[in-house]
Amino acid sequence: MSAAAALIRLHDLDLLLAELREVSLAARLRRAGFALGDARDLEAARARRFGELDPRWRHHYERAGRRYGAAVASVRGRVCQGCFMTLPRSASRGDAESVSLCESCGRILYRGRAESEVSESPVTPPPRSASPGPPRSRPS
Amino acid sequence: MHGTLVPSALDPSLFIPDLKCRRKDSALAELVACAGRGGVLRHPELALELLAAREALGSTSPGRGVAVPAIRSLAVQHGRVVVARSRRGIEWGAPDELPVHVIALVCSPAECPASQHVETVLRVAAAMKPQRARAKLMEAETFEAIAALLREALP
């Protein structure tokens, strides 16, 4: 599984769990007739998916998640959708989807194919010790 | 605005007039495939996985023959609603145990706030609740007639 797919799987489960934890939202859904059962299986699946994440991304995921709630932000038109800063052209990751770090806010940036720009860098996590800085490209 | 579902979220290419499948998982797969073809999803397989996880929590049918499955995901490129009908009906685990005839899959991008996503789900479900609205949805010959009914529900 690609780094991007692993991040999407984990992040999407976190979004769903966040909805369930918002008591007022969950209550409104229940009142409307939607069934919301026990989230323990979902939490177990979340733990498994976190374990599947490349260890070099886990640290950044946890840190950004603690700080912002959602650890991953998508990129649209070279703009981080977490902090809305325009990303430098050098941060472009090519035509394929890619994952990098926002040097402004430290969220993990997910760039889908449609948002990709010119370059051919592969998806590569930054070293664990790195603080949010310019996305690095290293061969995987 | 990417995070908001607007009336343009209803698109004729995102409409399945009559699902042939009988099972919930097959119906979800058809809806997701339709969204994938329509450019709504980047990773249809991941979207389907998330929908299955949501259904495992409990049915997304509030009863009365309708279902409103929903995803908020990085796999979603644009906020859209995919609408499907099933004349035969699909077992969806609804509280009233009635088969589902109209399904509206709400797709929101990850940056859409949870409150807004849930609000859209609730509005779409509410729009399909009255018996007259459900009859209109089933009898509509064109997508425009369906869109006209659901458009009022979108914030």
Q: What is the pLDDT along chain A (140 residues), one digit of tens a residue?
A: 788 899 999 999 999 999 999 999 999 999 999 999 888 999 999 999 999 999 989 999 999 999 999 999 999 888 999 999 998 877 665 667 789 999 999 999 998 875 443 333 333 444 444 444 444 433 33
* C-alpha closest to that of A72 among A45, A95, A102, A97: A102
Q: Which domain holds residue A64?
A: 3-115
Contacts of B93 in chain A (CB under 8 A): 35
Rounded distance, CA A47 to CA A61, Å? 13
Residues in chain A: 140
Q: Mean pLDDT over residues B72-98, rounded?
A: 94
- Residue B150: count other Cβ atoms within 10 Å of its Cβ: 21
The position carrying tokens 């609408």 is: B83
> How many domains would you assign to chain A?
1
In B, minimum Cα distance to A76 occurs at: B2
Residue A128, domain member (yes or no): no
Residue A77's pLDDT is what? 84
Write down the pTM of the prediction. Answer: 0.85
Q: Do A36 and B71 touch (CB under 8 A)?
A: no
Residue B13's pLDDT is what? 86
Residue A122, domain member (yes or no): no
Determine contact: B50 vs chain A, CB below 8 A.
yes
Burial B7-31, CB ≥16 within 10 A → b, else e: eebbbeebbbeebeeeebeebbbbb
Bridge partners, A76 (sequence order): A79
CATH node for B7-151: 3.40.930.10
Residue A140's pLDDT is what? 34
In this model, does residue B76 exceed pLDDT 80? Answer: yes
Residue B10's pLDDT is what? 77
Each domain of chain B, given as residue ranges in start order, spans: 7-151
* Strand (E) or helix (H) holding A78: none
- A residues 42-81 lying closer than 8 A (beta carbon) to B: 42, 45, 70, 72-74, 76, 81
Nearest by CB to A114, from B49, B54, B77: name it: B77
Residue A132, domain member (yes or no): no
